Copies of this chain bind each other. A is one copy, B any other.
Amino acid sequence: MSEQPNEGYKGATHDTALDNLCINTIRVLSMDAVQKANSGHPGLPMGAAAMAYVLWTRFLKFNPHDPLWPDRDRFVLSAGHGSMLLYSLLHLTGYDLPLDEIKRFRQWGSRTPGHPERSLHTPGVEVSTGPLGQGFGNGVGMAIAEAWLAGRFNRPDHKLVDHYTYALVSDGDLMEGVAAEAASLAGHLRLGKLIYLYDQNHITLAGATDLTFTEDVARRFEAYGWHTRGVPDGNDTDDIDAALREAQAETGRPSLLLVRTHIGYGSPKKQDTFHAHGAPLGEEEVAATKKALGWPTTDTFFLPPEAVSHFRQAINQGATDQQAWQRRLDAYRSAYPAEAAEWDQVMGGRLPTDFAAGLPAWKPEDKPVSTRVAGGQVLNALAQRIPNIIGGSADLNPSTNTALKEQGDFQPPDDTPGISGAVGGKWGHTGRNLAFGVREHGMGAIVNGMAAHGGILPFSATFFVFSDYMKPAIRLGALMELRVVYVFTHDSIAVGEDGPTHEPIEHLAGLRAIPGLTVIRPADANETAEAWMIAVQRSTPTLLVLSRQNLSILDRSFSQEAGVARGAYILAEAAGGAPEVLLIGTGSEVDLCVKAQRRLKELGVRARVVSLPSWELFAEQDNSYRERVLPAAVQKRVTIEAAASLGWERFAGTEGTVIGIDHFGASAPGEEVMKRFGFTAERVTAAALRLLGREEEAAREDTGIDGQGETAVAATAPSEGHS
């Protein structure tokens, strides 16, 4: 607990009438805003107003005038559709969110969008929520971040990091699997400073929860290792207060407070019905509700001055709290200057100046190495210098090669109070390897939360095909512009024996289409090192796509300087004049282009090899660079990637040939699968020859392709259609 327990603005005694006025202020403000927008969700703010009020005025540590104060408590509105609850609280407690913004709820250009959006920089919005369950997982990531930072920076008598993570979660959140995964891990990790308030209103969008959600939630969370506590009357501020105190006192387990609320509380006709969930109450019912709550029925956006003034004490309280913390930081800076410097660096999102020192490099004569193995070596080198790289895999460390050596496991400390037989060992909450378990989706939401917390540079890892399980979290990472590295290995049908369920096909296309996400599929170990360098330097998410199989080290002597950072580059120029044909590949297929180039040279064809590890980075380059790499004058182009062809017409044009795979893979040794489905240098050579009208020679090159069913080559001229 913090040194200055936040006892509420009025100390331990509370003015019930004032409390009720404040709570109703939240209700009416939210209801009015939804009504004015003629769109939104009034029911949750009205039902959950009391618990939110108690939390925000008596417990939550925050400074409205410095929303990013590092040691603030984090508050996540996981049930993001109740956004007006959060906006009401932000406005009332004095954040820079004026009433005019509330009046522009859900309107173009406002900072009060339908669901809270981190990327809009609405002050006090920690994460974008709305897709249910995500905020639940984000909160677990924040609590991990807090625990790790506390373990790393705090010293006896110097508590730099000491805050809670709270979330308001709904029935919908708790039905989502991502929340289940994160809950199980949070229980295992004994994240005692994680406190969730469950807005248990028994109503969902479509009806009553007894239609589909009759499980015993408390018992389930106890099974996960959580402390649970019911609050039978969600308007009983004393009981909410007591429950929160008990949760804070429970330092060895996360807490779930099951608060029985009434959706649309105060609405005479719509309370406790799903009609209050996702639509305005209507003018008439708004008036009736105001009357029932003793509010002036003619005004809209009426805020009782005494309520506002009570809420606004948060400003002084926050300033006081932050000043006390600042004094602690100053003292820390004197006592531990090196640690304080590191603190400034990690909290500022900066890297050590020497972060790239000691990175491994490979020579063309070195033996082939998979990009997953190379990636592991690079990651470990970076983690030596960048102290806040933390992450892990979904139970695949031996395969993804993402273990951080000698950095310990993030596990519950052996001395977790009240817990016997802890498994933590010496590292406890200071270890840097997270064992996420077979919980890909939870992992995605958790690393997002770690990044959103600040101070951490998190990564996740699993097989590329299982990016599917993480898709909702990856999208939100991109939307929130979080600095996260999503590592995926086993990146194509070359996975081999595991077969179609484990062989990605459509994944690159789908992920490249996500705005704001940088996808990099490096072609060899050195490109992998560059990719990691880019990933840690970008402020937005990067997704690395790495091979299972060994790949030759490419000869970069032609164009060493540009490389991955520019998205695409000329890896090997045509010998003896301007290129007649471009061979464009990514990842493991670049080497096929190099081999094809060699063969084409023998046949007198001038081919240029372009390595295209990142479409997004290439798109960021100026026209002249892009024209230099892919000259408009050369329309004979062969592109090759062991993935869906969708999108490759962008580079192949109408005259080129796209070599891809538009069907599922197969189970057999990886090399064989690649050959059978036509991912060979001979295929590239033949395709180039065909583009040059040398059909007979092409037929001689291109033998032994024996794919199942359809051809792997997609014709790209629009009128010729697509395979």
Q: Which residues of A contact B (CB under 8 A)?
A: 37, 39-40, 80, 106-110, 113-115, 117, 119, 128-133, 171-173, 175-181, 184-185, 187-188, 204-207, 210-220, 222-225, 274, 278, 393, 395-399, 409, 411, 423, 435-442, 465-466, 468-469, 471-472, 475-476, 478-479, 496-502, 505-506, 509-516, 615, 618-619, 621, 623, 626-627, 630-632, 637, 644, 646-647, 649-654, 662-664, 666-669, 672-673, 676, 716-723
Given A205-B399, A206-B393, A510-B510, is A653 in contact with B222 using a C-beta cutoff of 8 Å? no
| Assembly CA distance A233 to B226 (angstroms) | 29
- Chain B residues closer than 8 Å to A666, beta-carbon distance: 108, 113
Question: Contacts of A717 on B, CB cut-off 8 Å?
Answer: 632, 653
Contacts of A472 in B (CB 8 A): 466, 468-469
Contact check, B206 vs A435: say whether CB atoms are below 8 A apart: yes
What are the residues of chain B within 8 A of A644 when measuring CB–CB?
513, 515
Contact of A131 among B119, B177, B215, B465 (CB under 8 A): B465
Contact present for B438 and A176 (CB under 8 Å): yes
Closest to A221 in B: B223
Known: A37-B497, A664-B516. A212 touches B224 (CB 8 A): no
Residue of B nearest to A190 (CB): B214
A648 to B722 Cα, complex, angstroms: 12
Partner of A650, one of B106, B129, B207, B716: B716
User: In the complex, what distance in Å separates the CA atom of A80 from the CA atom of B180?
Assistant: 22
Give A627 to B398 CA distance when docked, in angstroms.
51
Can you pick out 20 interface pairs between chain A and chain B where the beta carbons lie within 8 Å of each other?
A113-B500, A117-B500, A177-B439, A205-B396, A206-B395, A207-B435, A212-B437, A213-B437, A215-B225, A219-B220, A220-B223, A220-B224, A506-B514, A509-B509, A512-B646, A619-B721, A637-B718, A646-B650, A650-B718, A650-B722
CB distance from A709 to the nearest CB of B (A): 10
CB-based contact A439/B653 at 8 Å: no
Given A514-B506, A719-B630, A211 contacting B662 (CB threshold 8 A): no
> In the complex the two chains form, is B113's CB within 8 Å of A667's CB?
yes
Residue of A399, A512, A721 contacting most chain B CB atoms (<10 Å): A721
Contacts of A498 on B, CB cut-off 8 Å?
A: 114-115, 130
- Are A188 and B205 in contact (CB-based, < 8 A)? no
Q: Cα distance A129–B499 when bound, in Å?
A: 11
Is the beta-carbon distance between B171 and A438 smaller than 8 angstroms? yes
Contact A215 B627 (CB under 8 A): no
Chain B residue nearest to A185 (CB atoms) is B212
Closest residue to A506 on the B side, CB-wise? B513
B-chain residues with CB within 8 Å of residue A106 when the two chains form the complex: 497, 499, 667-669
Inside 8 A of A440's CB, which chain B residues have their CB?
176
Are A501 and B215 CB-contacts (below 8 A) given A206-B435, A399-B205, A717-B632? no
Q: A512 — nearest CB in chain B belongs to which residue?
A: B646
In the complex the two chains form, is B515's CB within 8 Å of A664's CB? yes
